[in-house]
Amino acid sequence: MIQDPIADMLTRIRNALHSEHMEVRMPASRLKLNLAQVFKDEGYIKGFRVLDEHPVKRTLVIDLKYYQGKPVIDEIHRVSRPGLRIYRGKDELPHVRGGYGVAIVSTSHGLMSDRAARAAGHGGEILCTVS
């Protein structure tokens, strides 16, 4: 059983990029689908899809994005974790790499980037940073 499914997802993406794979597969969940949607909206992945190979087990397939042979995602880090949750208000949300990166924030209105959360006036739990 996976203790931290978000950390597992980020590690799988990080390892696949390091190995220059075109896609990465993992068990699907609603949270992972929402996280993948934010990655796609921010331009860090090409896309994603869900495979229903078994009636009970769904698989999330993420198509990774490269630019001139290099991965678009340079760094991906887990911020809040099960043992230490990190919450920030709308005025305290981090600026990742001076605005060139993105922090993914879990708000009461769903997952969104730090820019979108600031614009909507929401704070929340900072799940991860991507640059």
pLDDT for 23-44, tens place per residue? 999 999 999 999 999 999 999 9
Question: In this structure, which long-range contacts are made by residues 37-42, counting pairs with CB atoms below 8 Å and at least 24 apart in sequence?
Answer: 37/111, 38/102, 38/104, 38/111, 38/112, 38/113, 39/130, 41/113, 42/102, 42/113, 42/130
Per the confidence metrics, is the pTM higher than 0.75?
Answer: yes
Residue 114 has pLDDT above 80, yes or no: yes
Find tokens 């590690």 and name the residue.
11
> What pLDDT does 1 receive?
65
pLDDT averaged over the chain?
A: 96
Q: CA angle, corner 124, sides to 99 and 45, nearest 5?
A: 50
Listing DSSP states for 84-127 in one string gives: B--EE-TTS---GGGGTSEEEEEETTEEEEHHHHHHHT--EEEE
- In this structure, which topology does domain 76-130 adopt according to CATH? Dna Ligase; domain 1 (3.30.1490)
Average pLDDT over residues 117-131: 97
The residue extents of the domains of the chain are: 5-71, 76-130
Q: What topology does CATH give the domain 5-71? A: Ribosomal Protein S8; Chain: A, domain 1 (3.30.1370)
| 76-130 and 5-71 share a CATH fold | no
